[in-house]
Amino acid sequence: MIRILLALLAVAVPIGAVLAYGDANDLARATWAISHAFVENDQKALRMVEIQRRDSGEFKLRARINGANAPMVIDTGATSVVLTYETAKAAGLPLELLVFNVDVETASGRTRAAKLTIDNLAIGKLVEHGVPALVVPKGQMKTNLLGMSFLDRLESWEVRADKLMLRGYP
């Protein structure tokens, strides 16, 4: 309802200005500027995801990696997106080509991980392509981490109270 009223107001104001001043070119410019502002705000809203903090204190979400569902935890302390072996397999990543030669520290201790690139990582309306990631050997981690190699691609992210807001570029 509010959007409809705002849209009517956006049309009424320029028309009123033209009637008062009598210039149709001013109407066209004013209408374009106002409609462009609405479209820009709608595009920003399309590229935003809000995540509620869980009782555990973590921000958990469900991502899609190359179309496969993947539960993840936001980890700003992780340099990279880190996937479990099982998730990488479900996403159809080329596990037979992986070389586990990157030392990593996990909650379970030290292990080695393999570098790869995720073709498509989506969180709600946020979709990123060619995201650098690591995969750990089978059984080394229980959850996937959404680290800075994804978060750094966003326009912004912030925590306010118990909500994490992720904003992509329009």
Cβ contact 118:131 at 8 Å: yes
Does this model's pTM top 0.75?
A: no
* Judgement on whether residues 6 and 53 belong to the same structural domain of the protein: no
CA distances from 123 to 5, 73, 107 (A): 32, 12, 24
Number of domains forming the structure of the chain = 2
* Judgement on whether residues 95 and 161 belong to the same structural domain of the protein: yes
CA distance linking residue 54 with residue 40, whole number of Å = 32
pLDDT digit string, tens, across residues 16-74: 555 555 666 665 565 555 555 554 454 445 689 999 999 999 999 999 999 999 999 99
Domain of 75, CATH number, reads 2.40.70.10
* Judgement on whether residues 92 and 158 belong to the same structural domain of the protein: yes
pLDDT digit string, tens, across residues 94-116: 999 999 999 998 877 899 999 99
* Judgement on whether residues 84 and 163 belong to the same structural domain of the protein: yes
* Judgement on whether residues 62 and 24 belong to the same structural domain of the protein: no
Percent of the chain with pLDDT over 70: 73
Structure tokens at 9: 């107001």
Range of the domain at 30: 2-46
